[in-house]
Structure 1
Amino acid sequence: MSRVEELPDDFDEALDLNKVPPAIAESLPQPGFDAFAAANNEIPFPINEEALKARQTDPNAPELPPAIAAVQSHTSEELMAMMNKTPLFMTDIENAGDEKGENVLLDALQALQNEGTRAEVAQTFKSQGNEAVQELKWIDAKEFYTKAIAVINAKEDKWEKPEDPKEEEALLRKIEEASHINRALCNLELGNYRSCTLDCAAALKFNPKNIKAFYRSSLALFKLDKIAEAEDSAARGLAIDPESKALKESAKKIAERKALLERAAARKKAEEEKVRKQNMILSTALRARQIRTRKTEQPPDLEDARIRMVPDPLSPESTIEFPVVLLYPMEAQSDFIKSFSEMNAIEDHLQYIFPLPWDTKKEYTVEGVECFMQTVTGGLIKAGKKLPLLQILSGGKVEVVDELVSIFVVPISKTGKFIADMKARKTG
């Protein structure tokens, strides 16, 4: 009966597993390593002498090394077809056989997979997964663990019968638990955080005290920003092993993230409450002044300009400021005033706006213009230039639409035409 080989229990989960250990680095092929030449001097593919001669344009050229000649004597399509017959490079199993549909290497590998009991075959795959983990080959390791689990849960029993079925069954459960928890590590390293939590949950069904499952699950949930679940997973693990350094470190990170999110949530709640109070005070102030407001479905983009209370948005004693647009309808021009106090008159602003750069006829002066506003019913009222804006807006005859006050500024000589045009537009 085969033996279950776990990853070491003292395996340091806090290590940076993406750094290649020195021992492995030394064993890796160095630059200039010729894999074909090292393989017993065997050529990778049979040489097609006729095709090779046809490609040689210089009869005096030196003879190619066998490995290079073997590659250059075939087309890329031929090379891909021959590589597909090799298990290492196989991508299309239907076309992996020879003329008779046979592939000796593939048959041999498949036979090996069915050699031994179900537990022995599953253990082989799991051991290969462990070896891949030690080499940081996470994708390969994940595949081996998946195969181990597939063998255990396969409905068709095509393996040798065990001598002791009960012992075999217990061994299968241990292998399945180990494969799930080790595959969870692979998924964690690969960024497959949800899959990691599912593998941890599967491992815990076999062993509710699996510390690695709680640890890896807490890390994956932390990465998913599911802080409450991550905290619960770490807490459950620490309840079993209070001295686990890995779980303590995970719990610390989770607690820091939780505190950060709680502070952010508190700030957001406080800001929302502040805005709510500001809006309530502003709404009350507008009603008290009998200023009508209305919003449309497509308001203009005023950026950060809006009706506001100053200097303190939370004080009912503050004054109201309005965004105001001065329209010059006879010239199709306009000016925008971001903050127009209710205590200011229109002429207070006209004094610094005039003279207008486009007014070549000098028609627009403080004394030479009149101001108008539209009423709620679509008519016009004359807005006194010397009156405070509050006096013009209060009373309910005009309304502030989309938080913007609109004032028409017209030269006295053109007011008759302007009024006529506005009446025509209303009746039209």
Structure 2
Amino acid sequence: MSDKTESNKKAPMTDEERLALCQKLDEELDDFINSLEKKRYTDGWPEDRWEEEMDKHPFFMKSVPSDGELSPLAEGLAKLKYDPEENTPLELANSYKEDGNFNFKHKNYRLALLGYTEGIKVRCDDADVNASLYNNRAAAHWYLKNYRSALFDSEKALTFDPNHNKARLRAAKSAFEAKKYDTCIAHCNKLLEKRSNEEVIELLNKAKKCKLVQERDERKKIRSDTKKNEDKDELIKSIIQRGIRISKCDDADDIDLSKLEPTLPGAHDAIVHLENGVLIWPILLLYPEHQMTDFIKGCSENVPLMKQLEQVFPAPWDRDNKYKCESVNVYYEGYDKMPHIIDPMKTLGEILVSKYFELKGGTAAFFILPRGSVIERNYIECHL
């Protein structure tokens, strides 16, 4: 090596020199930072709203924005997650299940139903996932009090996993609420075959008691329906035997209770009935002059019509005192479309079998007019 080369080679830096250089560089960096304009960083998330801002990011979003619009990135992520071309049926089913679980935890049970339903529609081949989807949907139905649907989904879950105890317990509870006590008892017994459980035993005992009450009520209903049918047959038989003409009935075989029900509002409970073999009819008294009516719910066929008039006269609206039992005429309009005067001293039963009388709407209707008045004359002339 030449002398020139050796003279150009620098001597190594000592520790003191290296320390001095580092201090100088630090001082220069501090001077540079201190020379910068001091201002607050404003592009980040505010400390008091960082969770709100985080929820707006597609990766951390928990719900759809209030305006219903998603950013292109969020739409892309959703498509990536739910696109059948990008996911297997099992992956899709799990994604929809996760979506349903999220809404279920936040008590959005109707949205949870939608998530689980979409997962079920995928029809993946995994029995455990299908059992979970149906069981979870049953839980959502349960909280919405859709007990029949909860029962259906719980039993569907059991077809995929017969040992799914949660699904079977929910099936038992749903069956109880839906008053399907035999089904409830069957599911309870299945659960108790595996292990004793106080909740299941209590539910089983309640179902057995309710079943007994239900069976008793059903027997009472059968007896009641049988009695009603017998009474109905006896009622129609009595009407036919008396020869009473019923509107819109071509013959005796055409008579039924639907054609005997009063058509007046609020009068449905006044239908003709039998009391000790006597027909009790609703009747309608009409006063054309004042456009007023009196409805009498129960008038015995054995009582003269005059007795009914005595109950309504004097009328509070009759300021001129024209409507009195001895000063009015009573008419009915027959099936010949003509007015027919009647003797109010006759019984209702006798009037109902008059030659032209026809019972309409299950109610005997009579027109009450002051005898010899202009309104009576006009009433008669308008039918001529």
TM-score, scaled to structure 1: 0.55
1:234 aligned to 2:188?
yes
CA distance in 2, matches of 1:380, 1:138: 70
- For the aligned residue pairs, the C-alpha RMSD in angstroms reads 4.7
Is the contact between residue 184 and residue 196 of structure 1 (CA under 8 Å) also seen in structure 2?
Answer: no
Is the contact between residue 90 and residue 96 of structure 1 (CA under 8 Å) also seen in structure 2?
Answer: no
Structure 1 equivalent of residue 81 of structure 2: none
Q: Give the partner amino acid of 1:340.
A: C
Q: Give 1:277's match in structure 2, choosing from 204, 217, 230.
A: 230
1:267 aligned to 2:240?
no
CA distance in 1, matches of 2:108, 2:305: 73
Q: Give 1:249's match in structure 2, choosing from 202, 220, 238.
A: 202
Structure 2 equivalent of residue 5 of structure 1: none
Structure 1 equivalent of residue 369 of structure 2: 410
Instruction: Tell me the secondary structure at the aligned position of residue 271 of structure 2.
Output: coil
CA distance in 2, matches of 1:94, 1:378: 78
Instruction: Tell me the secondary structure at the aligned position of residue 187 of structure 2.
Output: helix
Q: Give 2:176's match in structure 1, choosing from 200, 222, 238.
A: 222
1:48 aligned to 2:42?
yes
Is the contact between residue 290 and residue 396 of structure 1 (CA under 8 Å) also seen in structure 2?
Answer: no
Is the contact between residue 283 and residue 299 of structure 2 (CA under 8 Å) also seen in structure 1?
Answer: yes
Is the contact between residue 328 and residue 409 of structure 1 (CA under 8 Å) also seen in structure 2?
Answer: yes
Q: Give 2:344's match in structure 1, choosing from 385, 392, 399.
A: 385
Structure 1 equivalent of residue 323 of structure 2: 364
1:205 aligned to 2:205?
no
CA distance in 1, matches of 2:320, 2:150: 76
Deviations 1:123-170 (A, max 9, x none): xx99xx9xx9xxx87889x89x98xx99xx979xxxxxxxxxxxxxxx
CA distance in 2, matches of 1:280, 1:402: 19
CA distance in 1, matches of 2:317, 2:141: 67
Distance 1:93 1:346, change over 3 A: same
Distance 1:371 1:214, change over 3 A: same
Shift of 1:398: 0.8
Structure 2 equivalent of residue 113 of structure 1: none
Shift of 1:177: 8.7
Shift of 1:303: 3.9
Shift of 1:384: 0.8
- Counting helix residues as a fraction of each chain, which structure ranks higher? 2
Is the contact between residue 188 and residue 220 of structure 1 (CA under 8 Å) also seen in structure 2?
Answer: no
Distance 1:407 1:199, change over 3 A: closer
Is the contact between residue 181 and residue 212 of structure 1 (CA under 8 Å) also seen in structure 2?
Answer: no
Shift of 1:196: 6.7
Q: Give the partner amino acid of 2:73.
A: N
Distance 1:393 1:195, change over 3 A: closer
Is the contact between residue 183 and residue 196 of structure 1 (CA under 8 Å) also seen in structure 2?
Answer: no
TM-score, scaled to structure 2: 0.61
1:299 aligned to 2:260?
no
Instruction: Tell me the secondary structure at the aligned position of residue 246 of structure 2.
Output: strand
CA distance in 2, matches of 1:282, 1:227: 38
Q: Give 1:95's match in structure 2, choosing from 73, 94, 100.
A: 73
Is the contact between residue 327 and residue 408 of structure 1 (CA under 8 Å) also seen in structure 2?
Answer: yes
Structure 1 equivalent of residue 23 of structure 2: none
Is the contact between residue 327 and residue 406 of structure 1 (CA under 8 Å) also seen in structure 2?
Answer: yes
CA distance in 1, matches of 2:262, 2:302: 29
Q: Give 2:308's match in structure 1, choosing from 344, 349, 357.
A: 349
Deviations 1:327-349 (A, max 9, x none): 22334333222222212212223
1:424 aligned to 2:377?
no
After TM superposition, the structure 1 = structure 2 runs for residues 17-28 of structure 1, keeping only pairs within 5 Å, are: none
Distance 1:359 1:244, change over 3 A: closer
CA distance in 1, matches of 2:245, 2:62: 77
Structure 2 equivalent of residue 83 of structure 1: 56
Distance 1:214 1:356, change over 3 A: closer
CA distance in 1, matches of 2:228, 2:271: 13
Deviations 1:213-247 (A, max 9, x none): 43232223333444443333334444x33744343
CA distance in 2, matches of 1:245, 1:375: 73
Distance 1:287 1:96, change over 3 A: closer
Q: Give the partner amino acid of 2:376.
A: F
Is the contact between residue 138 and residue 153 of structure 2 (CA under 8 Å) also seen in structure 1?
Answer: no
1:309 aligned to 2:274?
yes
Is the contact between residue 292 and residue 396 of structure 1 (CA under 8 Å) also seen in structure 2?
Answer: no
CA distance in 1, matches of 2:324, 2:134: 83
Q: Give 2:284's match in structure 1, choosing from 313, 325, 329.
A: 325
Structure 1 equivalent of residue 211 of structure 2: 258
Structure 2 equivalent of residue 40 of structure 1: none
Q: Which has the larger radius of gyration?
A: 2
Distance 1:283 1:332, change over 3 A: same
Q: Give 1:399's match in structure 2, choosing from 345, 355, 358.
A: 358
Shift of 1:200: 5.2
Instruction: Tell me the secondary structure at the aligned position of residue 270 of structure 2.
Output: coil
Is the contact between residue 322 and residue 338 of structure 1 (CA under 8 Å) also seen in structure 2?
Answer: yes
Structure 2 equivalent of residue 290 of structure 1: 243
Q: Give the partner amino acid of 1:230.
A: C
Instruction: Tell me the secondary structure at the aligned position of residue 358 of structure 1.
Output: coil
